[in-house]
Structure 1
Amino acid sequence: MTGCTTFDCLGAGQHVTQVAFGGRTWREDPSITSTIFAAFATVRRLHELLWYLADALDRPTAAPLHDALREAAADVERLAARPPEALVVVDQETAARGRSSDELLGRASALVRAVHPAAPRRSGTDLVGARLRGADLRGADLTGALLLGADLRGADLRLADLRYADLRGADLSGADLSSALYVVGPQVAGARGDARTVLPPALGPHPAHWG
């Protein structure tokens, strides 16, 4: 199944198993099952934030916020480095750090997307099944947008903010996401695309199931 073959934990699984639990796994030691799963959920969220913060730091136009972004990344890394017992109980602190980082990421996004002042703002919009083939979405704010099954064939998504956007089943064939902000592997893995789809360089090659 596509969901199984494309799952990407953004390094959270490796961190929890190898660093936090020193190589122990729940299969070998069932007594740590609930703890390791709870820790994984926390670290997965923190690693997602680190990915976004690294993206923002790579944007020259977000330079006025780079010091704050580096500070935020250091805070997130400190949270992720806590021992297993602490990782299980840092939910409130993780949420607070997430809100603070999201606000900062939004400001960085606004700086980067300022070159497209007339770009659509569709943050949180229900665009399930939307017909957006060939659409000019350069610099669009699509944060948290529901794009399940959307037709984005040939769409121009350069500098579009796709943070938390749900792209499951969306058709990205021929779409240009080369400079889109905050795109993570699980998003494109859950979508469809082809050899003409241009992804951000940090994501590496196209998902294998795209063919």
Structure 2
Amino acid sequence: MPEKQPQPRERQLLPLVGGGDGGGGDDRQELRADCGSCFGLCCVALTLSKSSDFPVNKAAGTPCTNLKQDFRCGIHQNLRQKGFSGCTVYDCFGAGQKVSQATYGGTDWRQAPDTARQMFDVFPVMRQLHELLWYLTEALTLPQARPIRGELQHALDTTEQLTHDAPAVVAETDVAAHREDVNVLLLRTSELMRADIRRKKKDRRGADLFGARLKGADLRGVTLRGACLIAADLRGADLRQADLIGADFRDTDLRGADLTGSIFLTQSQVNAAKGDAETKLPPALTRPAHWSRG
């Protein structure tokens, strides 16, 4: 097994700018999936259930039939047409390359089948830790979060250190407990970020907004944490400074919506939604290829 990595250094963040409009820069490149440096872990370690997102059932630890010997997807360019839309939504936050190249030192599960099971157990834990790193890194760029910057940095360093533990230790990490601790800080960040407008807005945390008609709605500063927005109509809605952590955006219509300055939005959420060229996204996220151009 590879030796434990050295203590991580503080992330180098770009200067804080702006007044909460999402302008603060940050470097989350290592938290973006690099499939070319991964051993196809999401195609093997995870369970797939036949549904509108996947055309087949696949047990955890069993390679997808579309996974090639070089760990590339054989139908990558046609995943949606082949019924694998769930694959186009999934994001590992860079956990795949971390487990493949750092935790296991570049030795894949085919070369060392005796490590395969452990590797597949480590991957989903690493993915959750990297998701927390994504949120914490974002929080550190927000000017309003300056009062708790030290606590956020400590939480980020602690989380990153967990990702450098030996494989057996990572696999046994109590991510749920760690997430609870981090969430206290993320909630505080959200409150600080939305303090100037949140008192005027209804709390939509965990709300059931399945298919809701919210076209053109003013949702600035609203907390939509964990809200169900499946198939909701948010065309032209204003979601600036809205807290979107954990919101379910599957088939949510975001055409023309403004999400600049929204907080804790992920690429996976964006990929699950519908949008167009007029949808405004935070600078850290990219416009999905399947979104309409007009």
**TM-score (ref. length: structure 1):** 0.95
- 1:174–1:25: structure 2 CA closer, same or farther, 3 Å change rule? same
1:126 aligns to 2:208 (yes or no): yes
Equivalent residue, structure 2, for 1:46: 129
Equivalent residue, structure 2, for 1:171: 253
Equivalent residue, structure 2, for 1:9: 92
1:102 pairs with one of 179, 183, 203 = 183
Is the 8 Å Cα contact of residues 6 and 207 (structure 1) preserved in structure 2?
no
Measured after TM superposition, the shift of residue 158 of structure 1 is: 0.3
Inter-partner Cα distance in structure 2 for 1:136 and 1:37: 43
Equivalent residue, structure 1, for 2:163: 80
Inter-partner Cα distance in structure 2 for 1:29 and 1:148: 41
Identity percentage of aligned residues: 49
Inter-partner Cα distance in structure 2 for 1:158 and 1:149: 20
Equivalent residue, structure 2, for 1:155: 237
Measured after TM superposition, the shift of residue 43 of structure 1 is: 0.8
AA partner of residue 22 (structure 1): G
- Moved segments of 4+, more than 6 Å: none
Inter-partner Cα distance in structure 2 for 1:61 and 1:123: 21
Is the 8 Å Cα contact of residues 133 and 152 (structure 1) preserved in structure 2?
yes
2:119 pairs with one of 36, 48, 52 = 36
Unaligned runs of 5+ in 1: none
Is the 8 Å Cα contact of residues 139 and 186 (structure 2) preserved in structure 1?
yes
Inter-partner Cα distance in structure 2 for 1:110 and 1:8: 27
Q: Give the superposed CA RMSD.
A: 1.1
AA partner of residue 189 (structure 2): A
Inter-partner Cα distance in structure 2 for 1:50 and 1:124: 23
Segment of structure 1 superposing worse, 190-199 or 116-125 = 116-125
1:64 pairs with one of 147, 150, 154 = 147
1:181 pairs with one of 238, 263, 287 = 263
Could you list the per-position Cα deviations for residues 16-63 of structure 1 after superposition, in whole angstroms to 9, with x for gaps in the alignment? 111001112224433322211211111111111111111111110111
Could you list the per-position Cα deviations for residues 140-189 of structure 1 after superposition, in whole angstroms to 9, with x for gaps in the alignment? 01111111111111110000000111111101100000100001110100
Measured after TM superposition, the shift of residue 119 of structure 1 is: 1.7
Measured after TM superposition, the shift of residue 70 of structure 1 is: 0.3
Q: Which structure has the greater CA radius of gyration?
A: 2
Secondary structure of the corresponding residue to residue 162 of structure 1 = coil
- 1:105–1:28: structure 2 CA closer, same or farther, 3 Å change rule? same
Q: When you count helix as a share of all residues, which structure comes out higher?
A: 1
Q: What number of residue pairs does the alignment pair up?
A: 208
Is the 8 Å Cα contact of residues 138 and 156 (structure 1) preserved in structure 2?
yes
Secondary structure of the corresponding residue to residue 268 of structure 2 = helix
Measured after TM superposition, the shift of residue 193 of structure 1 is: 0.4
Equivalent residue, structure 2, for 1:199: 281
AA partner of residue 61 (structure 1): Q
